[in-house]
Every structure is written in structure tokens, then in C-alpha cells.
């Protein structure tokens, strides 16, 4: 949806800068005059929330690093030093630790919204793939960050997850040795993870720039899935309309974030991570952070180690192929009755996998994980098949028509309610 710039420099300095480095024009065209569909709902505010959370994680992380010591004998104590001795260190750490969870909450909403409204379909395939790349980088960054406190769950989580690479034929053992920096998880491992945990957020930021660039080039999707036909009728300027909506959504999100930071800062963590890492004492139940649990359940559902690793990796990578898996010509599942039911069932399956990932790998939990794993991948097969024969509802002719139809429907409903509430004067 990129087009002719509407920016007009007003002062001599602006004209001088615009002729040499049109950064003000870029900001104006991207965040002020950029046209967005007029029917976007609050689910579209999570893109802005994610950018805010990324910046917040980078800023709090940089400050925490000033006081953290990446050494196996001092890491745990340095975190306690941050919590007890550094001015507002407790706040910085809780912002960073809970910020990771809130970051993933926002990204999961963003992903599910994209799937429901078909935001991966042409011409947005590259936009979607870049989003999956960001998701993979986020997972790598979060895993390495979870290791840094060097508590029991940090140490044993690193041991279990890095060991998975040994399942790969030929190169597996070599990869594990390089990750560990030796023959077991120890100080070299912590140093490697610290270095990468510091580097990857800046890589994420770079891919986010490409993601936003791709978004602004092809334009935003919308709840109807209908492309913009008339810019004046179908769109509104990003500022003030989308800006105000994004700010409101961000404030509500920050209130929830603040509640966790100040009232339940350890709710999404694990108690065992307040015990220093001990290679001689294995925790009774090793679990990753909550946002990895669905994939952890898939990993444990496959009896074969290599099969489990491939299944877990496929569960993420398959998302990148959604533009070609979904064969329907209609984007939004609002107009696809069968696909919509499949989506909600799949969402329940994902939540179920998250629950099963937190349970012990025994008895009925393993069987349930295997069933839910089949259902998880079955969704993508069903999406391919359903798209071939599903008969979608009639699409609105334009975004403006869908907005007007919604407004008229709401007015009619209010009129009917008001009429029914009137007293029967004749009686």
C-alpha cells in the first residue's frame, strides 16, 4: 500500500534535511499518513505492543547486564545481588523476566489472529515468513535467557534441550560439543549462551524492521480479508485513528503487565530456579518456561528421540508453509464456516498441549500428548483439504461496505431493542 508521499516540509531546516536525509518524511509516511483499513479491530494493536515489548526487553536487558556476571560460580549470586543490592534491581529483573512472558502472550495472540484472518495469504507470504523467523529467534533468545540465572531449572533445562541436538545423525554430537564448550553443561556453555542472548535481540530488531517494511509495502490485512479498493473510502490515516487505538490497547496491556510485575512476579516462573545449579541433583520434574510447553509436549509424545526432535521442529516450521497449505481463495475465517470451526478446535488443542507439557511424561499424559500431537498436525492437513471444497459465505464488495453494513446492523438492533422496551400505550 506504499504510494506517493504526502509530506510537505514547512521550515527551511526541514527542507534542507529532506533533500539530504528524508528521515522525517519516512517517519511521516510510516506513522502519520500511512493508510490503514478502517475496519481493524483491537487484535491489530498487538503489533505495536510487540514493538514496545521488544524495546523494553532490550533496554532492561542492557541495564541488567551491567550487574550480571556470566560465570558458573558467580552467576546465581550476581542475580541475587541485582535483586537485593542494586537500586531498583528487583524491578528491572521482574520487568525483564515477566516481560518475556508478556512478549510471548502478545506474539501468540498476533500469530493466532494472523491465522484466523488469513494474513499469510498472497501477497503477504514474505511478511508471514519473516514473522515465523522472528518467532524462532524469540524462542532461541528466551531459552538462552532462561539459562542465565544458573538455577536448578536453568542448568537442567539447558542440559535436556542441548542434548536434543545429539539425535541428529553425523553432526549431532559435534553440535552439542560446540554448544557446551566441552563435554557437559558448564561455564563455557553459560558464556556462549550469555553472548548469544545479548546478540539475538538486535537480530530480532533487524528482522522486525524487514517485517514492518514488508507490511507497509503490501498493506495490512483486515477482518474481512478484502483488499483496499478505494483508498479514500476504505482506509483512514494511521494517525490519529490507529495511533489512539494502539495506545489504548497498549495501556490496557501494560496494566496487566504491571499486575504481574508488582503482585505476582514469580507466577510464570519456577520455584526450582531459586536453588543454585547442582549437577549432582536432578529436579523431580524438568519443565521449560510455559511458552515452550506445547512444543515440549510434542517432543515427549514421540518415543524415538530423533522423531521427537523432528516433530517439535516441524510444529514450528510448518507455520511458514501456511500460505501454500491453505488452498482456499478466501482469507478471513469469518466467511469460512468449516475452517472457522477447525481453527477454534486447533486452538483448544494448542492449549491442551501446553497443559500436557507441564505434566509428568507418564501414563495417560503421554497417550493424551500423542493424540493431541496428531490433532495439531491434522489441522494443517484439514486446512488443505477443506480449502478445496468449502463453500464460503459471500464477501463484502469493499471494506467500506462491510463497515456500513455493520453500522446499519447495529442501528437496527438498537432500534428493535428500543421499540420492544416502549410501554404498550394502547393496552
Torsions phi, psi of 122, nearest 5?
A: -50, 140
Residue 2's pLDDT band (cuts 50, 70, 90): low
How many percent of the chain have pLDDT more than 70?
A: 95
Taking residues 202-222, report their average pLDDT. 97
Residue 6's pLDDT band (cuts 50, 70, 90): confident
Residue 153's pLDDT band (cuts 50, 70, 90): very high
The pTM score is: 0.94
Place of cell 522472528: 134
Ordered domains of the chain (ranges, CATH): 29-286 (1.20.810.10)
Q: Does residue 139 have a pLDDT over 90?
A: yes
CA-CA distances (angstroms) from residue 359 to 88, 320, 349?
A: 35, 29, 15
Residue 225 Rama label (left phi>0; alpha psi -120 to 50; beta): left
Residue 284's pLDDT band (cuts 50, 70, 90): confident
Residue 62 and residue 268 in contact, taking contact as beta carbons nearer than 8 Å: no
Q: Does residue 427 have a pLDDT over 60?
A: no
Taking residues 119-145, report their average pLDDT. 98
Rg (CA), the chain: 25
Q: Which helix (H) or strand (E) holds 400?
A: helix 399-421
- Residue 152, pLDDT score: 97
Q: Does residue 58 have a pLDDT over 70?
A: yes
Q: Does residue 51 have a pLDDT over 60?
A: yes
- Residue 208, pLDDT score: 98
Residue 423's pLDDT band (cuts 50, 70, 90): low
Q: Does residue 287 have a pLDDT over 50?
A: yes
- Residue 407, pLDDT score: 77
Taking residues 92-109, report their average pLDDT. 98
Q: What is the largest CA-CA distance in the chain?
A: 91
- Residue 257, pLDDT score: 98
Residue 425's pLDDT band (cuts 50, 70, 90): very low
> What's the mean pLDDT when you consider all of the chain?
94
**Cis status, amide bond into 123, omega within 30 of 0:** yes
- Residue 424, pLDDT score: 52
Q: Does residue 42 have a pLDDT over 80?
A: yes
Residue 15 and residue 9 in contact, taking contact as beta carbons nearer than 8 Å: yes
Distance CA(47)–CA(219), nearest Å, equals 14
CA-CA distances (angstroms) from residue 233 to 35, 241, 401?
A: 11, 14, 9
Amino acid at each position: 500500500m506504499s504510494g506517493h508521499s504526502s509530506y510537505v516540509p514547512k521550515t527551511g531546516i526541514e527542507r534542507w534535511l529532506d533533500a539530504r536525509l528524508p528521515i522525517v518524511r519516512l517517519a511521516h509516511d510510516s506513522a502519520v499518513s500511512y493508510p490503514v483499513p478502517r475496519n481493524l479491530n483491537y487484535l491489530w494493536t498487538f503489533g505495536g505492543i510487540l514493538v514496545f515489548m521488544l524495546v523494553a526487553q532490550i533496554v532492561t536487558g542492557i541495564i541488567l547486564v551491567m550487574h550480571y556476571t556470566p560465570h558458573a560460580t558467580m552467576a546465581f549470586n550476581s542475580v541475587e545481588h541485582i535483586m537485593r543490592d542494586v537500586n531498583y534491581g528487583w524491578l528491572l529483573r521482574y520487568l525483564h523476566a515477566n516481560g518475556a512472558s508478556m512478549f510471548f502472550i502478545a506474539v501468540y495472540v498476533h500469530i493466532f489472529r494472523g491465522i484466523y484472518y488469513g494474513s499469510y495469504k498472497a501477497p503477504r507470504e514474505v511478511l508471514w515468513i519473516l514473522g515465523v523467523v522472528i518467532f524462532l529467534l524469540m524462542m532461541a533468545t528466551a531459552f538462552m535467557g532462561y539459562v542465565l540465572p544458573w538455577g536448578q531449572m536453568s542448568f537442567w533445562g539447558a542440559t535436556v534441550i542441548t542434548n536434543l541436538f545429539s539425535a541428529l545423525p553425523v553432526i549431532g554430537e559435534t553440535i552439542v560439543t560446540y554448544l557446551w564448550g566441552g563435554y557437559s553443561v558448564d561455564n563455557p556453555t553459560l558464556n556462549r549462551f550469555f553472548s548469544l542472548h545479548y546478540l539475538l535481540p538486535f537480530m530480532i530488531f533487524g528482522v522486525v524492521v524487514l517485517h514492518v517494511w514488508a507490511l507497509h509495502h503490501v498493506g495490512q490485512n483486515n477482518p474481512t480479508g478484502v483488499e483496499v479498493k478505494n483508498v479514500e473510502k476504505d482506509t483512514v490515516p494511521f494517525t490519529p485513528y490507529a495511533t489512539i487505538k494502539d495506545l489504548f490497547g497498549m495501556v490496557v496491556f501494560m496494566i496487566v503487565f504491571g499486575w504481574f510485575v508488582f503482585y505476582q512476579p514469580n507466577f510464570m516462573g519456577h520455584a526450582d530456579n531459586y536453588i543454585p545449579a547442582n549437577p549432582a541433583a536432578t529436579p523431580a520434574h524438568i519443565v521449560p518456561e510455559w511458552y515452550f510447553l506445547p512444543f515440549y509436549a510434542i517432543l515427549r509424545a514421540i518415543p524415538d528421540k530423533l522423531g521427537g526432535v523432528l516433530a517439535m521442529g516441524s510444529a514450528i516450521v510448518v507455520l511458514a508453509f501456511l500460505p501454500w497449505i491453505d488452498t482456499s481463495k478466501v482469507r478471513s475465517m469469518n466467511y469460512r464456516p468449516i475452517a472457522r470451526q477447525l481453527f477454534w478446535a486447533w486452538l483448544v488443542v494448542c492449549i491442551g498441549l501446553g497443559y500436557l507439557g507441564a505434566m509428568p511424561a507418564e501414563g495417560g499424559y503421554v497417550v493424551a500428548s500423542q493424540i493431541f500431537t496428531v490433532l495439531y498436525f491434522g489441522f494443517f492437513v484439514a486446512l488443505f483439504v477443506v480449502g478445496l471444497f468449502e463453500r464460503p459465505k459471500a464477501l463484502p464488495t469493499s471494506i467500506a461496505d462491510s463497515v456500513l453494513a455493520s453500522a446499519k446492523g447495529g442501528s437496527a438492533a438498537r432500534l428493535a431493542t428500543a421499540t420492544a422496551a416502549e410501554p404498550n400505550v394502547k393496552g
